[in-house]
Amino acid sequence: MQQDFRDQHVAEVAEAESDVAAWQAERDGMLAKIKSASGRKTSKNGPNISQPVRKPHKVTMPTFYEDVTPEALAQEIAAGWPSAALWSDEAALIVGSHGMSDESALRYFGLLNRFWDGNCFERFRTTAKSFTVTGRRLTCSLMMQQIVLCRLISAAGGVARGVGFLARFLLAWPRSTMGTRIYRDCDLDGPGLVKWDAKIKELLSLPLPADPKTKVLDPPTIFLSGKARNQWIEFHNDAERELSLTGQFGDIADFAAKAAENAARIAGIFWVVEKGPSGEVDAETMQGAAAISSWHLHEARRVIGATKVPQAVADAVLLEAWMQKPGASGVPRTQISPREILHEGPSRLREKERRDAAAEVMFRTKRMFETKTPNGIVWTLNPKVMGKSSGFGA
């Protein structure tokens, strides 16, 4: 659908780009006249310079984002298509990007949380362009391996869970079917798939509920029927009762706290696909959505339990990543003294006990070596791990 949309608007995009180029040339000419006139005497009425026309708008297109910093994502959504997606079947590109570094991960997660809530975001800068993101929507769909998920969970000292970022996702970890994937014929044009494809194309072809000039989205509100609302309240209360430390979801309270809201969102999606963007969600739809939200909640408990990273291992991942980054001299810190880590290293490794525990993991996995020199002990990063994802064992 995205490519079809782009193909249908090729001529419009070309015309808009031509208009922008013409406007830029006219503007440059006016500026040149002003500059020239300012250096010589002119008539009392000033130089004869016409008023510039308003800058024409570029044609915006639906976009899937992958390797993007939080600043670039916000700016692109503010000026571009109002409904966007952070989408990847290789989420290591996102989790391992500059936007997920310790320095910017907190901003990234906070920004995505704001978009998930559908709230406004404003950026004011003195040295860069300021802008406001309003009436925009962003969806995230990320596929990743276990080691990448562990990296995401441990990023910036566990910020992903601490700020409620992961809890906004519907986690799923399908069990492996390797060894049982025997070839079987299938009909990719079967009636079920054809009907599904047609329905999705129909929904995507609806006019965008947005202001034609600002692209601010104003989607219709879909309400719950009385019975659906009662079911939602019951599901909310059931999840809430299990949030305590002794409850069923005590170890994933952040996920359980979002379960009811996710159920409402799922119900809305089901209703739009089945009935369209109007009317009231019925009890049957709400019941199905609650069941799916509950399933994902149990999946979250299984996934988080299976990916718990010992602190020493998480710290070792951090230490290795920090050593690979350029230091003050502009080159990676592949050789460093333990004392330097206490003074210059990541904040949570400036405790001797945690630094030593992380180093022990790296020694054990042969990702770092210790040597004694006349000037003291030196820790050297194994050249074989440079540029690679950390692969520690607990």
Residue 220: alpha-carbon gap to chain centroid: 25
Q: With a cut of 80, say whether residue 356 has pLDDT above it.
A: yes
Q: pLDDT class for 12, splitting at 50, 70, 90? A: low
pLDDT in tens, 74-108: 999 998 889 999 999 999 888 888 778 777 888 89
What pLDDT was estimated at residue 46? 54
Q: Which two tokens stand for residue 161?
A: 């869970």
Q: With a cut of 60, say whether residue 375 has pLDDT above it.
A: yes
Higher per-residue confidence, 128 vs 270 = 270
Fold of the domain spanning 311-385: Arc Repressor Mutant, subunit A (1.10.10)
Phi-psi region of 20 (alpha: psi -120 to 50; beta: other; left: phi over 0): alpha
Q: pLDDT class for 394, splitting at 50, 70, 90? A: very low
Locate the domains of the chain by residue range. Answer: 2-41+55-168, 217-306, 311-385
Higher per-residue confidence, 128 vs 194 = 194
Cα–Cα distance measured from residue 256 to residue 276, given in angstroms and rounded to the nearest whole number:
29
% of the chain at pLDDT higher than 90: 42
Cβ-based neighbour number of residue 356 at 10 Å: 14
Work out the average pLDDT over 183-204: 89
Rounded to whole angstroms, what are the CA distances from 68 to 23, 108, 183?
29, 10, 38
pLDDT in tens, 196-211: 999 999 998 888 899 9
Q: Which two tokens stand for residue 199?
A: 């329905």
pLDDT in tens, 230-253: 999 999 999 999 987 668 898 899
Q: With a cut of 80, say whether residue 111 has pLDDT above it.
A: yes
Task: Looking at mean pLDDT, say which of 40-49, 175-184, 276-285 comes out highest.
Answer: 276-285
pTM of full prediction above 0.95 = no
% of the chain at pLDDT higher than 70: 86
What pLDDT was estimated at residue 393? 47
What pLDDT was estimated at residue 388? 58
Asked if residue 156 lies in contact with residue 102, where contact means CB atoms within 8 angstroms, the answer is yes
